[in-house]
Amino acid sequence: MTYIKQGYGFNVGQDFARAAQDTPIEIDPKAYSAPCDVIGYIAGNPDGTLGFLRSERVRVRVQKSGLLTR
């Protein structure tokens, strides 16, 4: 399984957030991104303070160096 490392930043469109904990990400292999980035989906947080993360499933862009595989 692949995770965004705790404390690492990611983008949701023009918005930016940091992972509060290691966050599971489902990588989208068909999505185009810059060579050092990946596009994927994380679970949203409907109770969170960030409106752009309140959806059930959120599309994010994160640098490959911010990923962790377990």
The reported pTM is 0.90
SS (H, E, C) the chain: CEEECCCCEEEECCEEEECCCCEECEECCCCCCCCCEEEEEEECCCCCCCHHHCCCEEEEEEEHHHEEEC
Tens of pLDDT, residue by residue over 41-65, are: 999 988 888 888 899 999 999 999 9
pLDDT-derived band at 38, boundaries 50, 70, 90 = very high
What is the chain's mean pLDDT, rounded?
Answer: 94
Q: How many domains does the chain have?
A: 1
pLDDT at 3 over 90: yes
Residue 43's domain comprises 2-69
Determine the pLDDT at residue 6: 97
